Amino acid sequence: MTSAITSHLDPEHAGTDHASVEHASALDAADPLAGLRDSFTLPADVIYLDGNSLGALPRAVPDRIAATVTDEWGDGLIRSWNDADWINAPRRVGAKIAPLIGAAPDNVIAADSTTVNLFKVLSAALALRPRRRKIITETRNFPTDNYIAEGVIRQTGGAHRLVHADDVKTIADLLDDDVAVLMLTHVNYRDGSVHDMAGLTRAAHDAGALVIWDLAHSAGVIPLDLAGCDVDFAVGCGYKFLNGGPGAPAFLYVAPRHLGGDGQPLSGWFGHADPFGFAPHYRPAGDITQYLCGTPPVISIVALEAALDLWDGIDMRQIHAKARQLTGYFIDLVEARCGGHGLALISPRDAELRGAQVAFTHATGGHAIIAALIAEGVIGDFRAPDVLRFGFAPLYTRFVDVWHAVDRLAGILDQRRWDRPEFHLRRKVT
């Protein structure tokens, strides 16, 4: 393991100080980010390891929402589009996200969902490569991304073809002169493995293709450099590690060279060059606002904006270092204390190759184990068919949380407390 923690726990060393809760407490005491946890509302009886699915609530958000509802909407009414600057919220929030992803403020905007934004940028990218027919993706990509690509292909009358790479090592080999777009998720949603953004972007450009990156599981935990990597387009969500709340607006990035034109297919009035000119025909804005569509959801966008205020002055290198430490510590403890129960690590062992999540598989009881953990106050999640997934948000996850989570997991496995009928029942959301 290449992180700053060098415990390298295994069953042989499980009785050493590195495996103790006191050691975890010492790691928290030395953590330069530890004070940020107080900026979040977290239940005292819950260990939350699902920030890669839904971020925790920042304390500042409820008051900001209340002010928006009571003062700006209640008293200001429609005047607040100007007086409270609602009209510029998508650009303002995009500018706050920009430094977290290595982009200029004028190249990022907050809007819609990741899924909708992917439809926009994929359509725009294909329009920029009209003579090419292939879209390269990864079989293990987050399903909505591939579903959207299939939908875009239907919209083009089947003129394009979606090519799946079953093995990530073959992606570059698929980049020939008929590839229009390479579309990948930077951090895999199942196992947390990280793609080489710079290398794959360069390989795609060498083949004359454009690149779209989905940053849903990397924005807020990994230092990104979209401009430096010469990325064409990117999308990402606001409700995971950015803590914007359930269904928070997503964001998208467009390289300066691709702004303008009319490739964005959702030609709604907020993407018009003069929305309040009410012209009878569409004329796209020449800047990032072209990628807006309909009226922004003000209440949810100000919630995301308040959550993003927490990032002011934070060094993403410290965030990344702590993510590597937390995930490595979790892997070490699980393998030291939970061996022999059928758990198999599928996340990369090399800290440089994984994001801020760790995944194990279990052949028969994956869902039930997660359900039992949740019942005992440790929240992770399950991904079909057999993946137990745990997310570690450096802004608020502590090393003692990791220690106690593994302690409870070990007890559940040792006593088979997961193998109860109620834990095998599937709910709609897992």
63 is catalytic: no
Query: Between the CA of residue 75 and those of 164, 184, 368, what are the distances in Å?
Result: 53, 45, 49
**Alpha-carbon gap, residue 34 to 398, rounded angstroms:** 7
Cα separation, 335 vs 343, in Å, equals 9
DSSP 37-69: GGGEE--TT-EE-BTTTSPPEETHHHHHHHHII
Closest CA to 249 of 202, 296, 282: 296
Distance, CA of 28 to CA of 17 (rounded, Å)? 15
CA distance 251 to 109: 6
**Rounded Cα gap, residues 20 and 123, in angstroms:** 53
State the Cα–Cα distance between residues 51 and 319, nearest whole angstrom. 14
Tokens 């050493």 belong to 16
275: left (phi over 0), alpha (psi -120 to 50) or beta: alpha
Count of residues making up the chain: 430
Dihedral, 146, 152, 158, 162 alpha carbons, nearest 10: -30
Distance CA 311, CA 307 (A): 8
- Please tell me which residue in 91, 120, 190, 240 is annotated as part of the active site: 240
What is the distance of C-alpha 15 from the center of its chain? 36
Q: What's the CA gap between 127 and 253, in Å, rounded? A: 17
The answer to whether the beta carbons of residues 119 and 135 sit under 8 Å apart is no
Q: If 0-12 CB within 10 Å is exposed, 13-18 middle and 19+ buried, where does residue 133 land?
A: middle
Say which DSSP state 377 is in: T
240 is catalytic: yes
Q: Which of the residues 389, 398, 401, 423 is marked catalytic?
A: 389
Pairing of the two strands 251-254 and 357-361: unpaired
Whether the CB-CB separation of 210 and 128 falls below 8 Å is answered with yes
Active site residue 133: no
Q: Which of 31, 50, 145, 214 is catalytic?
A: 214
Has 120 been annotated as catalytic? no
Q: How far apart are CA 392 and CA 101, in angstroms?
A: 19
Cα 384 from Cα 366, distance rounded (Å): 9
The position carrying tokens 């702004």 is: 259
Give yes or no: 253 in active site: no
Residues acting as catalytic residues: 142, 214, 239-240, 389
